[in-house]
């Protein structure tokens, strides 16, 4: 669930870990350790990468900035089209509904 949320954020703009946590916070309680571990895994899997690009919401916190890769976009679309996930269905529905416009018309 966290993975699709993080990828959906990065589909819209590059972001640092602090911003990602602030966007996720109203929806889910996620510790810094959990977020850090997940971001490291996503880096290792090639779904995200570090970037020096300007981000829309700067922070005073020192934090790496991430952007989605082409593999990450493929993973995002795969997760968006996955209908087998049933845990936290309501929250997952909201994430998917908010990103529905990113899908190709044929996939909608």
> pLDDT class for 37, splitting at 50, 70, 90?
very high
Residue 33's region, left for phi above 0, alpha for psi from -120 to 50, else beta, is alpha
* pTM of structure: 0.83
Strand 15-16 to 48-50 pairing? unpaired
The tokens describing 66, both together, are: 């991430």
Distance CA 85, CA 60 (A): 37
Q: Is 104 or 34 the better-scoring residue by pLDDT?
A: 34
Whether the Cβ atoms of residue 57 and residue 19 lie closer than 8 Å to each other: yes
71 has pLDDT over 90: yes
């Amino acid at each position: 669930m966290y993975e699709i949320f993080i990828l959906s954020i990065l589909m819209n703009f590059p972001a640092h870990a602090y911003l990602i946590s602030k966007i996720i916070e109203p929806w889910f309680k996620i510790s810094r350790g959990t977020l850090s571990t997940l971001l490291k895994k996503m880096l290792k899997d090639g779904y995200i990468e570090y970037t020096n690009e300007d981000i829309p919401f700067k922070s005073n916190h020192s934090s790496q900035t991430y952007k989605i890769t082409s593999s990450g976009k493929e993973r995002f679309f795969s997760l968006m089209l996955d209908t087998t996930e049933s845990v936290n269905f309501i929250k997952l529905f909201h994430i998917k509904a908010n990103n529905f416009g990113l899908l190709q018309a044929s996939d909608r």
